[in-house]
Structure 1
Amino acid sequence: MNSKSKPSHQYFADWKGIIYNLAFFLNGLLVFLLVFEERLSIPFWMQSIGRMHPLVLHFPLVVLLLYSIWTLLVGKPESTRWNSDLADTLLLIGTFTAVIAAFSGFVLSKEEGYEADTLFWHKWLGIVISVASIVWYSTGKYLPPWKILSKIIAVSFILLLLIGGHLGGNLTHGEDFLTAPLELSSEPENKISFEEAKVYADLVQPVLKQKCYACHNAEKSKGDLQMQTKELLTKGGKNGALWDTTRADLGLLLARVHLPLDDKKHMPPRGKAQLTDEEIVLLAEWVKGGSSFEQMVSAISPQNPVYNYAQNILGGSRTEESYDFSAADPGKVKELNTTYRLIKPYSAESPALFVNFYNRAAFKSSDISDLAPLKDQIVAMDLSKMPVKDEDLKTIAQFPELRKLLLTFTDIQGRSLSELKKLTKLRELSLSGTAIKLAQVKELESIPSLKKVFIWSTDIQQEELAQLKKSRKIDFETGFRSDTVVLALNPPIIENEEQIISGNTPIKMKHQIPGTVIRYTIDGTEPDSINAPVYDKPILISKNTDLKAKAFKKGWYGSKQVDKTFLKSTYRADSVRLITEPDAKYKAKGGKSLADGVKSSAEPGSGSWLGYRETDFQSYLLFKKPVKASSVTLSMLRNVGGFIFPPVRIEVWGGSDEKSLKLLKTITPQMPDKTTSNVDDLVFEADFAPQEISCIKVIARPLAKLPAWHPGKGQKAWVFVDEVLVN
């Protein structure tokens, strides 16, 4: 053996010395940074080090706990339970990883969104544990494990580690994270009946509490957002309100939920319990329905997904009404079910049926009378928005088991309302949005079983409504109408689903509340209540058009604006070939997506967008026969919060084939700023001199660095495109 060679144990000792010295240096640096913390500014590139904290903190926690417990188990010097070399190595590993965790945690603490007091104590405990562990290692030879002082130090370390871990859990997962299961298990479950349940308090809030509160509470408010109270939830965070029914994606809450799981903006974050499909539908329907905090579950239509969700969640405690009639013939139920008329049992074991009608244009009076074979089983009928006339009430009155009848926004005038007196079991009736009069409504008081009548948004005057509210027999729901409370109208509905048009196309709009005036613009300006044209017949459009509309009515605030972009397509490419491949997460149907004539929703995760970030978007559109083109339109997306920006440059090339292309148009889009709306459809139209073209090449270049005001400053932006249209 070479006399100059070192034995293996000496190499090992040298490595332990290097690790010890490195840990000593990092602890010194950590204390130095702590002293000058207020003057410290963490550079952008160090944020990744901070975000490694959750990955590394568990290692020193486990190792130091093992060493401390091992120390407590050793009772005497000659104990066979103790291995000094292994113990020394274990403590050194714990010491080194503790300072790594403390250093990364210190960097992470400079980010926003954590409750100050909890963060202060967690940070100091982490640094104390790191410094104390290297002191313990340095004095190890003077503190054998069988000494009482070593036992005291071990117990102290266990306490510090448990308290520090608990505070860290509070910061990451919410207050009392460790003790919550014990508290929950000791509390009896408070059941609520189906009839008493509220949509928000008993369905929505439990989902938010389970899946969202951990990151958005008083202790930890990511994005300056807290969600524990109705007021905080409505207020939103630094990115604005959580929902907006005028947006296609319904606003920030649902947009973040639908982002891909590996997107860092996706909520809940990867690694946390995710929302189920049913919970996502619940949130979306709650927002679409007006995000009411007081709405009762029992007031929802049985066909609403929220109703079905409530049955699954609350069904075990629901008091089901018993019926004294037998079930209908299943074959007859199946026979009477149509595309526009749905008949379903209340539950699998119930003989009671409810009926829901759809498609106003296809409705006819016989759709009601045809249900006569089931008249002894139908207990609820929803005819909302159907063209039901007064004479149809005579037919409806022939269903003796009816308990609930919805005639909301029908054509009822009230002349035959007295026919409903024949329904001796009717408990709930909705006449909202109809032209009924006070005298007709008062006749309903003679129906002994009737308990609740909805009459908001009718022609009944306010002083007359006040008279009805005095009734002790029937609860008349009149809505929020007073001299001091003014409600905003819902936005008008643009009925056309297809957004890609080929020629003169009539655009239809409607509003649910009678007497509402719809005003619109197609020139890019916002519609007002005075100068904007009034919608009174379908609007003919024959080119790229951004339709904006609002609803107005005396005694109401004007609605929010609704927007819809219609794009003209004269020539559809025979084939499309992508020159550059999209990102694997956003590849839609490949090149076919650019010429399928389908406009995607404004949701990045819809599966219809081609997304580019690392490379330019480049594609060929090919025609078997030359077309005389004069413009090319790109349909794109802007989602500022999702890092999706307009391209910095668009180029359109054209020619007879791929080898003879010439530049036809260059567009330099304007970049968003802090005031730009978060989500919007973008349309870029490249005009050029009319010419015969068989091949078109389109290039769109992503923004290389997001601006300084953006949370992702310095990172690359995305470019999203779904259609390239040739005219």
Structure 2
Amino acid sequence: MMKWNRIRWQDAGSQLLFAANSFALVLFIAGSNIAVPAWLQVMGRMHPLVLHFPIVLLMLGALLLFIQLRDPAVNQWKIQFTSWLLLAAALSTCVTVIMGLLLAREDGYTSDGNIQWHKWGGMTVLWAASALYWLRGYAKAWLPKTGAILTVILLLLTGHWGADITHGNNFVLAPVTPRNSTVPFGKALAYEHLVKPILQEKCMNCHNAGKAKGGLSMELPQQLLAGGKSGKLFIPGNPAVSLLIERLHLPTDDKKHMPPAGKSQLTDEEVNILYYWIRDGADFKAAVASLPAHDSLRMLATTRLQPSASPEPVYDFAAADDKLVQKLSNNYRVVYPISLHAAPLVANWYNKDKFNIQSVSELLPLKAQLIEMHLQKMPVQDADLDILAQFKELRVLNLSFTNITGNTLAALAKLPHLKSLSLSGTPVTQQQLQQLKSAPALQELFLWNTSLSANDFAQVQKNFSKVNIVRGFTNDQGEQLKLNQPVVLNTAAVFRNTMTLKMQHPVKGVEIRYTTDGTPPDSTQSPVFKDSLVITDNMTIRAIACKKGWYASDPLQLSFSKTTYVPDSVLLLNQPEGTYLAEGGKTLIDGQKGGTDFGNGKWIGYTKNKLEAMVSFPQQVPVRSVTIGTIHNINSYIFLPQQVEIWGGSDAQHLRLLKKVIPAPNKKDDPVTAMNIDCTFATTQVSCMKIVMTPVVIPAWHPGKGKHAWVFADEFLFN
């Protein structure tokens, strides 16, 4: 009876195995051409859950085929157990393959690459496992044993292709595969050796040739440029509106955040590398060494790449005290090491209106470490060069567009290590430059936009035969070129009472034409910008640079906002959320506008809570309007607020509603825009105000429908 039942169940198992093989073959051949009910799709998504079960059974069953026991009774039991084990292995393999074929029908899996190899491998393993069961008792023992070895090999190959789909190409062998990070700095490419390794490690497990989630594959440059179903992955030169950067900055629990929650997240350094690569134009062939010396991407690369094989400068001085370096840096002068933990220092100056030579003398305690000084556009005088000559370790000195005349250049010839000197934009003469002939280490001299004639340059090059004389663009062929935009010298976009706007252009003879009514400026009819322009109210200025024989520059748009009353303090009743903390309440009255880059540290953001800010003035003031700077970027889930409330009164306990504003609803095609929300009301004496911005619920047409959008603010103006 037991023997009959055993044979009956084995026959039933064999028939079931044959039927399952047939069903799997139909699915394999039909692909996506047949409709599958939803409950089967659920079954398909269980493929990663059950695939380990048949692997264990197949390997154990294959092993038992090679074991021969001496006791006939025990060996007979082993043979019967092996039969049941191989049947279970073949049936579970069939179930796993069917689940995998159902899963491969979903969006995100392509019809080529590793997925095809994995599907063929799965079917081959199924056929091998089925054959192994049916041939288990074959008279010639070498046949099932050979089949067992072949099945295990196929199993390993199929698993390898599956791992590549889930975790990216070469996942199994990655630990023993040489990596690009060992490439010398001088030979490194920005994309190949900085960007691509990040994408491979953190992104390609879901965005590869076999598993392109959202229709996006990241393996090849052309695939990155093509983007996916959500559009372009990035906009070269504009990371603030690039989908890649937006998704990285979404809250971790947001379903659009990348990488998804639970996956290995990008470090801050990795996010910055992607950001600066896109900002620099997303060039796939650019060499790291070709980037400017102080480019952010190049500086990040120095910490990730192997130094160049070429000899680097050796500095035999000790590092300065970190606290002293930090103490000597301020808003108008920044001192920093050339690289992380390095002793040599660099000094940069900003805002010519705040400069005096005392700010250079204050750095004398660091004269043994300072190797670069960048004083371009500062009002440095001839007499000041004696102070600069005290910094004996200087290698680079930039004095372009300063007030020096060239009479005291002999002081700089005493610098023993000076290699690079820039005197562009100054009135130096060929005779005055002779004072630099005794400079022992001089290698390059920048003299573009000076008064030197062609004959003067020829004589200078003759006198400095071992020095690279950089004279800039000469346009000997008469080619018509496009001017760059005018340079704005003002740093603040918010002012009290009045403001004097200053603009200039580095090219001599250029006219700056402008408008204040929002119309595009014209190169012949629009007013010519003189030395300055006094602004007394909110104003948007558009300006272009023009010169005969040149194409006019792209228009430059500037927005200036007036605030009559500046509060003593701003207390945030709800703290900003996510990484959009900026400087807290101070951000709203610091006079700095955030622009369209919501991740630049000048915006505060809210999504789950309202923005509620309590504003205090030193005394009662008559306020008739409050202007709130905000931004909307619907692809990044940043919308205009549902409503804005302005409350005012004599103190926090006696506030009344002065104005409620409901902005126009956001639309699908709204561009990324930084804008103001104006709230006007009857003039009211206040010493305390409360401003409330309520986030909107995302509408049904947006992928994040039903969630609370983000609302951002950068500046409050009171008039």
What TM-score results when the alignment is normalised by the length of structure 1?
Answer: 0.68
The residue identity in structure 2 corresponding to 1:637 is I
**Aligned runs of 1:344-355 on 2, under 5 Å?**
355=347
Q: CA deviation at 1:118?
A: 0.9
Q: Secondary structure at the match of 2:421?
A: strand
Q: Give the aligned CA root-mean-square deviation in angstroms.
A: 6.2
Aligned match of 1:540? 535
- 8 Å contact 1:259–1:265 — kept in the other structure? yes
Q: Secondary structure at the match of 1:504?
A: coil
Please tell me whether residue 58 in structure 1 is matched to residue 48 in structure 2.
yes
Please tell me whether residue 72 in structure 1 is matched to residue 71 in structure 2.
no
- 8 Å contact 1:425–1:449 — kept in the other structure? yes
Matched residue pairs, number? 679
Q: CA deviation at 1:414?
A: 4.0
Aligned match of 1:644? 638
Q: CA deviation at 1:671?
A: 1.2
Q: 1:369–1:602: structure 2 CA closer, same or farther, 3 Å change rule?
A: closer
Q: Secondary structure at the match of 2:700?
A: coil
Aligned match of 2:422? 430
Q: CA deviation at 1:361?
A: 3.3
**Aligned runs of 1:481-560 on 2, under 5 Å?**
482=475, 486=481, 489=484, 492-493=487-488, 495-497=490-492, 503-506=496-499, 508=501, 510=503, 513=506, 515=508, 523-525=517-519, 529=523, 536-537=531-532, 539-543=534-538, 555=550, 558-559=553-554
Distance in 1 (alpha carbons) for counterparts of 2:16 and 2:378 = 81
Q: Which runs of 5+ in 1 are unaligned?
A: 1-9
Q: CA deviation at 1:441?
A: 5.9
Q: CA deviation at 1:107?
A: 0.9
Q: 1:254–1:350: structure 2 CA closer, same or farther, 3 Å change rule?
A: closer
Q: Secondary structure at the match of 1:381?
A: strand
Q: CA deviation at 1:321?
A: 3.7
**Aligned runs of 1:406-425 on 2, under 5 Å?**
406-417=398-409, 419-425=411-417
- 8 Å contact 2:225–2:232 — kept in the other structure? no
Q: 1:481–1:236: structure 2 CA closer, same or farther, 3 Å change rule?
A: farther
Q: Secondary structure at the match of 1:453?
A: strand
Q: 1:354–1:34: structure 2 CA closer, same or farther, 3 Å change rule?
A: same
The residue identity in structure 1 corresponding to 2:673 is D
Aligned match of 1:668? 664
Q: 1:436–1:538: structure 2 CA closer, same or farther, 3 Å change rule?
A: same
Please tell me whether residue 277 in structure 1 is matched to residue 271 in structure 2.
no
**Aligned runs of 1:48-127 on 2, under 5 Å?**
56-75=46-65, 77-79=76-78, 82=81, 92-109=91-108, 117-118=112-113, 121-122=116-117, 124-125=119-120
- 8 Å contact 1:211–1:273 — kept in the other structure? yes
Distance in 2 (alpha carbons) for counterparts of 1:426 and 1:660 = 66
Q: 1:529–1:439: structure 2 CA closer, same or farther, 3 Å change rule?
A: farther
Measured against aligned partners, the alpha-carbon deviations of 1:142-184 in whole angstroms (never above 9, x if no partner) come to 4548876665665555455544444455555554444444331
Measured against aligned partners, the alpha-carbon deviations of 1:100-129 in whole angstroms (never above 9, x if no partner) come to 33312211246xxx5x53166247437736
Q: Secondary structure at the match of 1:450?
A: coil
Aligned match of 1:449? 441
**Aligned runs of 1:356-375 on 2, under 5 Å?**
356-357=348-349, 360-368=352-360
Please tell me whether residue 296 in structure 1 is matched to residue 286 in structure 2.
no
The residue identity in structure 2 corresponding to 1:184 is P
**Aligned runs of 1:32-47 on 2, under 5 Å?**
35=30, 37=32
Q: CA deviation at 1:73?
A: 0.5
Deviation larger for 66-75 or 409-418: 409-418
Q: CA deviation at 1:705?
A: 1.2
Distance in 2 (alpha carbons) for counterparts of 1:205 and 1:394 = 49
Distance in 2 (alpha carbons) for counterparts of 1:47 and 1:387 = 76
- 8 Å contact 1:586–1:611 — kept in the other structure? no
- 8 Å contact 2:54–2:90 — kept in the other structure? yes
- 8 Å contact 1:333–1:343 — kept in the other structure? no
Pick one of 238, 245, 252 that aligns with 1:261.
252
- 8 Å contact 2:668–2:701 — kept in the other structure? no
Distance in 2 (alpha carbons) for counterparts of 1:48 and 1:363 = 73
Q: 1:591–1:107: structure 2 CA closer, same or farther, 3 Å change rule?
A: same
Q: CA deviation at 1:343?
A: 6.3
- 8 Å contact 1:436–1:459 — kept in the other structure? yes
Distance in 1 (alpha carbons) for counterparts of 2:22 and 2:486 = 60
Distance in 2 (alpha carbons) for counterparts of 1:698 and 1:351 = 48
Q: Secondary structure at the match of 1:681?
A: strand
Q: Secondary structure at the match of 1:683?
A: strand
Q: 1:638–1:472: structure 2 CA closer, same or farther, 3 Å change rule?
A: same
- 8 Å contact 1:517–1:553 — kept in the other structure? yes
Distance in 1 (alpha carbons) for counterparts of 2:683 and 2:327 = 57
Measured against aligned partners, the alpha-carbon deviations of 1:483-515 in whole angstroms (never above 9, x if no partner) come to 55846636745744565x6x5352746568365
Distance in 2 (alpha carbons) for counterparts of 1:230 and 1:466 = 46
Distance in 2 (alpha carbons) for counterparts of 1:458 and 1:81 = 97
The residue identity in structure 1 corresponding to 2:638 is I
Q: Secondary structure at the match of 1:489?
A: coil
- 8 Å contact 1:297–1:307 — kept in the other structure? no
Measured against aligned partners, the alpha-carbon deviations of 1:453-500 in whole angstroms (never above 9, x if no partner) come to 34456566789879988986233445666455846636745744565x
Q: 1:267–1:462: structure 2 CA closer, same or farther, 3 Å change rule?
A: farther
**Aligned runs of 1:305-320 on 2, under 5 Å?**
306-307=298-299, 310=302, 313-314=305-306, 319-320=311-312
Distance in 2 (alpha carbons) for counterparts of 1:477 and 1:205 = 36
- 8 Å contact 2:570–2:586 — kept in the other structure? no
Aligned match of 1:7? none
Aligned match of 1:4? none
Q: 1:369–1:218: structure 2 CA closer, same or farther, 3 Å change rule?
A: same
Q: 1:683–1:314: structure 2 CA closer, same or farther, 3 Å change rule?
A: same
Distance in 2 (alpha carbons) for counterparts of 1:452 and 1:222 = 52
Q: CA deviation at 1:388?
A: 2.0
The residue identity in structure 1 corresponding to 2:102 is F
Aligned match of 1:128? 123
- 8 Å contact 1:23–1:95 — kept in the other structure? no
Q: 1:611–1:352: structure 2 CA closer, same or farther, 3 Å change rule?
A: closer
Q: Secondary structure at the match of 1:184?
A: coil
Q: Secondary structure at the match of 1:108?
A: coil
What TM-score results when the alignment is normalised by the length of structure 2?
Answer: 0.69
Distance in 2 (alpha carbons) for counterparts of 1:240 and 1:692 = 51
Distance in 2 (alpha carbons) for counterparts of 1:612 and 1:695 = 19
Distance in 1 (alpha carbons) for counterparts of 2:441 and 2:305 = 29
Pick one of 708, 711, 718 that aligns with 1:720.
711
Measured against aligned partners, the alpha-carbon deviations of 1:25-60 in whole angstroms (never above 9, x if no partner) come to 9995994696374698x99xx89979x98x754334
Q: CA deviation at 1:233?
A: 7.3
Please tell me whether residue 184 in structure 1 is matched to residue 178 in structure 2.
yes
Q: 1:402–1:726: structure 2 CA closer, same or farther, 3 Å change rule?
A: closer
The residue identity in structure 1 corresponding to 2:107 is L
Distance in 2 (alpha carbons) for counterparts of 1:591 and 1:419 = 48
Q: Which runs of 5+ in 2 are unaligned?
A: 69-75
Distance in 2 (alpha carbons) for counterparts of 1:216 and 1:585 = 26
Aligned match of 2:374? 382
Q: Secondary structure at the match of 2:674?
A: strand
Q: Secondary structure at the match of 2:104?
A: helix
Q: 1:178–1:434: structure 2 CA closer, same or farther, 3 Å change rule?
A: farther
**Aligned runs of 1:132-211 on 2, under 5 Å?**
132=126, 142=134, 144=136, 155=149, 157-171=151-165, 174-184=168-178, 189-192=182-185
Q: 1:355–1:551: structure 2 CA closer, same or farther, 3 Å change rule?
A: same
- 8 Å contact 1:653–1:661 — kept in the other structure? yes
Deviation larger for 503-512 or 69-78: 503-512
Percent identity (aligned): 27
